[in-house]
Amino acid sequence: MSHARISVDADRPIGSIDRRMYGVLVEHLGRCVYTGIFEPDHPTADADGFRRDVMELVKELGVTIARYPGGNFVSNYRWEDGVGPVAERPSRLELAWHSIETNAFGLDEFMTWCAKADVEPMMAINLGTRGEEDAINILEYTNGVCSTEYADKRRANGHEDAYNVRMWCLGNEMDGPWQVGHKNAEDYAYLAGSTARAMKMIDQDLELVACGSSAWEMPTFGDWERTVLELNYDEVDFISMHRYVDPDTQDRASFLAAGYDMDRFIEGIIATADAVGAKKRSTKKIQISVDEWNVWRLSKWNSIEHGFDPADWPVAPKRIEDVYTAADALALGGMLISLLRHADRVKTACIAQLVNVIAPIMTEKGGRAWRQTTFHPFAIGSRIARGTAYDAVVETASTPTERYGDVDQVDAVVTWDKETGTGSLLALNRSLTDSADLTAALASLGVSRVIEAQILAPADLDAVNTADEPDAVVPVSHPVAIADGVLTTTLPPASWLAVELG
């Protein structure tokens, strides 16, 4: 048994938690869209073809924003193919994921789905095979209010009101050699900058996200961000960051320290962005959009991605349908703690993806839908971790990992919403062997009671949820005491705790 002490100073907030922290990626990859959110023949389908069972889970998950249509998919996508009468829409070879895109679901369907799910849309633009003209056209179709060609096409397609999409991604992972239209940093920076300037001639209040490097293991990392921002500091508002953690490439102790890995990546991007800002003597701060993050057995996918049959282009095939373990849920909970700890600069975060494809929600075609293990920390966080994140100072023992050396055994973040008088304590015990007696001094925030405390402390870290056993891994109530603003509890080994405070 070790001891961990958390102290919080109400006069030291990290920053406000943007509602977009709880976003998702909806990409035309595998079964995310088709037989995921959209399946007109499903018994629960509504008049627009959306699965009601999935919609209910999306609302329970607490999704606030959805990035669309990709992902790698966007870099060869013609958005015009997915609007207008469905019978007249062309099918295309989808190069990123080697499949046929029928275009039965497109921009208008996505906007309708967002409205029904009460989710803000976030659009990505094809800067792989297209550029400024395409960006202007899709912006006009989506947000246009004047009587112009593309705005009138939207109206003719049955959507009178503009969608008023505020957030736009200028391409996707353009430093990746796997990307259709892959570019070097300068070529991308010039294209992104000219596209941004053109878009802001239409609407100067758009929020634009420039591509960061695809991963900090990439040889481009750092120099890519510096080049893009030096050329576009005044044109863009965000730099993107993507982070996937692969449990099959590391020991389990290192895997449970995924939040430590996330911290280093985020802080590296902040340092790079602020160095450019200092060089420019700018008071502006570039924010971070972590618009893809998750646990992903990427090494397994990489071993099969080049085995596609050149004569076989399936429609909505099963792709990257990882089944998540209890350990995966703990690691994801740790990554969420890291994101919240950087709430001053991380203003958007999208778990990738929403349904079936490395997703918290799984479905059967024509059948059931269920929650994966990773559904639970995200859903709890989106519900209770709102308002402001605070600098939680954690005094704790260390725990050894092969990848990072000794790391803090207990990691935590505290949030508080002054308007509702509620908040949260999220804590992860990374040790696989040792419990931790936890004390948290929260009186300065005005905390006086525990509304609810739930914990993921699985006896079997390899346990999974399935359609037949959807509740094999679920959070359970956990004893927590509070007196005079001091919270006390015990964290079992390998556990993630969420306490709702009042």
What CATH number is given to the structural domain containing 442? 2.60.40.1180
CA distance 23 to 354: 9
- Residue 299 has a pLDDT of 84
Give the pLDDT band of residue 303 (cuts 50, 70, 90). Answer: low
Q: How many CB atoms lie within 10 A of CB 68?
A: 27
**DSSP H or E segment with residue 278:** helix 258-279
Domain boundary among 360, 384, 408: 384
Residue 305 has pLDDT above 60, yes or no: no
Last residue of a domain, one of 336, 369, 384: 384
Task: Convert the pLDDT of each residue in 29-75 to its tens digit.
Answer: 999 999 999 999 999 999 999 999 999 999 999 999 999 999 999 99
Q: 235 with 329, same domain?
A: yes
Residue 403 pLDDT class (50, 70, 90 cuts): very high
For residue 280, what is the domain's CATH number?
3.20.20.80
Q: What is the distance of C-alpha 228 from the center of its chain?
A: 22
From residue 97, alpha-carbon distances to 69, 253, 501 in Å are 13, 32, 44
Going by C-beta distance under 8 Å and a sequence separation of 6 or more, which residues neighbour residue 147?
none
Q: Are residues 469 and 350 in the same domain?
A: no
The domain total for the chain is 2
- Sheet bearing 2-16, strands edge to edge: 476-477, 450-456, 495-501, 422-429, 410-417, 388-395, 2-16, 436-441, 486-491, 481-483
Query: Does 366 lie in the same domain as 442?
Result: no
CA distance 134 to 157: 19
Percent of the chain as helix, strand, coil, to the nearest 5? 30, 30, 40
Are residue 337 and residue 475 in the same domain, yes or no? no
What's the CA gap between 416 and 33, in Å, rounded? 35
311 confidence band (pLDDT: 50, 70, 90) = confident
Which of 356, 384, 412 is a domain's end point?
384
User: Are 341 and 409 in the same domain?
Assistant: no
Here the tokens at position 13 are 């907030």
In terms of domains, do 304 and 449 share one?
A: no
- pLDDT tens figures, 171-226: 999 999 999 999 999 999 999 999 999 999 999 999 999 999 999 899 999 999 99
Reported as a pLDDT band with limits 50, 70 and 90, residue 301 is confident
Q: What is the mean pLDDT of residues 358-376?
A: 98
Do 24 and 105 lie in one domain? The reply is: yes
Q: Which domain holds residue 407?
A: 2-10+390-501
Q: Mutual orientation of helices 185-202 and 132-143 as an angle, nearest 10°?
A: 30
pLDDT value at residue 304: 57
On whether both 396 and 337 belong to a single domain, the answer is no
Q: What one-letter code names the amino acid at 183? A: K
Q: Is the pLDDT of residue 306 over 80?
A: no
**Residues 484, 430 share a domain:** yes
Say if CB 320 and CB 353 are below 8 A apart. Answer: no
Burial class (CB in 10 A: 0-12, 13-18, 19+), 435: middle
What 8-state DSSP symbol labels residue 481? E
Record the pTM: 0.97
Catalytic residue ranges: 173, 292
Q: Is the dihedral of CA 75, 124, 192, 135 positive or negative?
A: positive
| Alpha carbon distance, N-terminus to C-terminus of the chain | 29
Q: Are strands 481-483 and 92-94 parallel, antiparallel or unpaired?
A: unpaired
Shared domain for 156 and 304, answered yes or no, is yes
* Average pLDDT score, the chain: 96
